[in-house]
Amino acid sequence: MPITWNEEKKLFNVTTKNATYQMKVDSYNHLIHTYYGSQIDDTDMYTQISFADRGFSANPYEAGKMDRTYSLDVLPQEYSCYGTGDFRITGLRVKESTGNQTVALKYVKHAFFDGFHKINGLPSVHGTSPSTSLCITMKDDVNGLVVELWYGILEETDVITRTVKLINRGNAQLIIEKAASMNLDFTYGEFDWITLHGRHAMERNVERRAISHGISSIGSVRGTSSHHYNPFTILCEKETTETNGSCYGFSFMYSGEFLIEVEKDQMAQTRMIMGIHPDNFSWILDPDQTLELPMVIMSYSANGLGKLSQNYHKTIKENVIRGNWKNKRRPVLINNWEATYFDFTGDKLVEIAKEAQSLGIELFVLDDGWFGKRDDDNSGLGDWYPNEKKLGCTLKELGNRIVEQNILFGLWLEPEAINEDSDLYRAHPDWVIKAPGRMPALGRNQLLLDFSRDDVCDYIIEVISQLLTEVPISYIKWDMNRSMCDKFSNNLDAAHQGEFAHRFILGLYHVLETLTTRFPDVLFEGCSGGGGRYDCGMLYYTPQIWLSDNTDAINRLSIQYGSSLGYPVATMGAHVSAIPNHQTGRSTSLSTRGTVAMAGTFGYELDVTKLTEEEKVEVKKQIKTFQKYYDLIQNGVYYRLTSADDICTVWEIVAENKSEALISAVYHGVEANPIPIYVKIQGLDEKKQYEISYLNADCTKQIMSGIALKNAGINIKGATTEFESYQIYIREI
C-alpha cells in the first residue's frame, strides 16, 4: 500500500514511486515529522533525531520534570502550534474567549479512505485511478479544537497533497487567527530557496537564494495570488541543477492571499509553512462549526529541477484541470485588443474575423469595450449588456455574423469589477468593496464587487448565464484588473470582517464552479491583468490562463521560463502580437514571435487586415506548424536546456514515447565572432537513431543516435540577425 501504519512503531509511511514521507506518533502523542526524500523502507527515522538540553527551549509539562532534552522548540513537527514552547514560526494560532492563544494538539486517531479527499467549496486534486487518502486526527483537550490533517498521493508523479480541516468540538467560540495548510520540518540540510517574483507585465522571474538563519517570506495581501509573488516555490540542495540533485516543490492550490515562510532555526533546521495570509485573516468558529483550508501539492525529485517541473506539469494536466477542455484540442485564437483597443465597430470586428479565418485561425475573441458606456477604462464595468450603438447590432447578431465566417466567437469579461460610472453601481452602491465613511482607493479607476455576498454572486451567475445562453459564445476570457484594498463587506458584522478576503475567494470559486458546470462546452481562460492570478486554484476552473499582458517575445522568454518551473505549457496563454511591441517598443521577426508563442496555447493579438501578403503566408505556415505538432507541444515532456538569461534560450518538448521532439531556440542578440551554442538533448531513447531537421531554416538534415544526442548534443545554428529563432524537429527513424 502507498500509505502504511506500523502499529508497533507508531509510524506512518507515505510512499510514492520514488519518495517516502514519514511521520511518527511519539510517547507524548505528538505527531513528529521524521523524513521526506528518496524512497526508504519503514526504518524508524525518529531514532536519528538528536536530543539534548538546548537551553531556553521550553519543555512540555509532562516531559519537563523528567527530560529537559525533549522540547517542541527543536523537534520536527507535522503541524506546529503557537504557545506550546515552540518559538519558531508556527502554523496554527487560535484565540479562545478568554484571550488565550495557546493551542496544544495531540494525536487521537487516524483513518484511511478510498479515493481523493475533496474540499468543500475549494479546488482539490482529483483523478480516476484508485488512490488512498490518510486522515490523522489531532485534538486540543482544553478548548476542544479538532484538527484533521489530510494526505493524498499521486504515485507516478511523486505528489503528496496536504490539507487541513478545523472543527470546534468545544463549548465556546474559537477565533482562528492563523491556519497554515502545511508545515514541513527538515532536521538537517543546507538549502536554496527558489521563488517566482515580479510585477504587472513582468511576472514570475526566478530568484534563487541560500536559506540563512532567520525568517524569510513571500506572499500576497492583494486579494489575489498576485503578479508580485507566485504561490509556488522550491526548496533544493545547494548543488541541485536541472538534471541532478534533490528538490522539493510546493504549490498552493489557492487564488487569494497567501503566505510562505521559511525559517532556519538555532539548530540549523529548516521549517517551511504555507497557507492563507494571516494579516487580514481571522475566522470565527462557533461550536460544531468547521473551516476547511486550501490544498498544497507537494512533490519531490532526486533528479533535479527538470524532473520536479515535469511532475507538476503532468499532475496539473491530469489531476488539476477538469472538464471537456482537459484533453480536447484548443483552438488557435485571435484577440482584437491590441488590434483596436476600444476603437472598433461591429463591421471592423467582422472584417478581422473574416481575414483571420482565411489564415487558419479558429476562434475570434472580442475583448474590452463591447458593453455599456465603455469607450475607455473609466466607465461601464458591471453593465454586461452590449453597446448596440457601437456594435451596430445586438451582441447575438454580432456573434452570428462572426460564426457565419466559419470561425468561433469568444468574449472578454471582467465580472468582479465595477466602475462608479455604471448603471450597476448606481443601482447597488452597497455591492462594492470599500471602507465605511471613507473614499475608496481606485485601481484603473474601478472598484471590486463583493463576491463574499450571495446576492452579488447570484447576480453575476445570472447575467453571464444569459449571455452564454443567448449568444453563440465558445470562449470566455475572465479578467480581473486591480488589487484588493479597503477590505470591508457591508454583509458582514464587525466580528466577521476578518473572514472577508477568504469569503471573496470562496464566492469566486462558487461562481466559476456554477458557470463551468452549467456551460461545459465553453472554454474559460483565466486572466488578472495577465498573470496576476496564475495558480493551481484558477487552473481547476480555467484550463488556461493569459500568462502576461506583456506580449514582447523576448520578455516572454523569461516569463515563460519562470512559469515552466511549476506550470505546463498547455496552461500558458501566449500570442503573436504586432511590432513595434506595444509594451516595450521592441521589434522582433514574425518567425521569432511565432516560435515563442508556440510554447503556450498559441494565438494572435494584432490586426490581421494590415498584414502584408508575405506576413499572411508566414502566419498560415505558423498555424499549420502548431497544429501539426499540437499533441507534442501540449502533451509532451518539457525540458529547459538553457536559461532565460543565456545568450540563446533553448527548450525542448519530447513525446512520451520518445519518438519525436521539438527544440526551440531564441537568440537574445547577435555577437561578432560568436561562440557556438551546444545543447544536450534529453528524453530520447539512447538506442534509437533520429533525424534532425530545421523547420524554419535551410540546414542539412542530420542523423544521430539517442545516446549521442544525450551526451554530445547538437550545435544550434548561429544567429545572423538580432532575436533570430529556430525550431528543430527530431524524429525517430
Distance CA 384, CA 609 (A): 28
The Cα-based distances of 9 to 79, 138, 399, 442 in angstroms read 20, 18, 66, 59
Is 733 exposed, middle or buried (CB count within 10 Å of its CB: 0-12, 13-18, 19+)? exposed
Distance CA 671, CA 693 (A): 25
Distance CA 143, CA 692 (A): 68
615, 646, 685, 732: the catalytic one is: 615
Distance CA 502, CA 294 (A): 10
31 φ, ψ to 5°?
A: -95, 110
535, 618, 652, 724: the catalytic one is: 535
Three cell numbers, residue 258: 497567501
126 φ, ψ to 5°?
A: -140, 175
Whether 207 and 195 have beta carbons less than 8 Å apart is answered as yes
Sequence length of the chain is 733
Distance CA 168, CA 174 (A): 7
**405 DSSP 8-state letter:** T
Whether 536 and 251 have beta carbons less than 8 Å apart is answered as yes
Whether 21 and 160 have beta carbons less than 8 Å apart is answered as yes
Angle 365-370-372 (CA atoms, 0-180°, nearest 5)? Answer: 150
Distance CA 497, CA 509 (A): 19
Is 533 exposed, middle or buried (CB count within 10 Å of its CB: 0-12, 13-18, 19+)? buried
Whether 472 and 399 have beta carbons less than 8 Å apart is answered as yes
Three-state helix/strand/coil letters over 422-436: CHHHHHCHHHECCCC
Amino acid at 673: N
Distance CA 44, CA 419 (A): 60
Whether 526 and 539 have beta carbons less than 8 Å apart is answered as yes
DSSP SS3 for 177: strand
Active site residue 535: yes
Whether 418 and 446 have beta carbons less than 8 Å apart is answered as yes
Distance CA 323, CA 601 (A): 17
- 500: Cβ contacts below 8 Å, ≥ 6 apart: 280, 452, 487, 488, 489, 492
- 186: Cβ contacts below 8 Å, ≥ 6 apart: 36, 76, 235, 269, 270, 271
Query: Can you give the C-alpha Rg of the chain in angstroms?
Result: 27
Which helix H or strand E contains 555, and what residues bound it? helix 553-564
Alpha helices by DSSP H, listed for 674-716, are 706-711
Strand partners, 357: none
Q: What is the dihedral of CA 547, 549, 554, 555, to 10 degrees?
A: -80
Distance CA 647, CA 676 (A): 11
**569 DSSP 8-state letter:** G
Q: Residues with catalytic annotation?
A: 535, 615
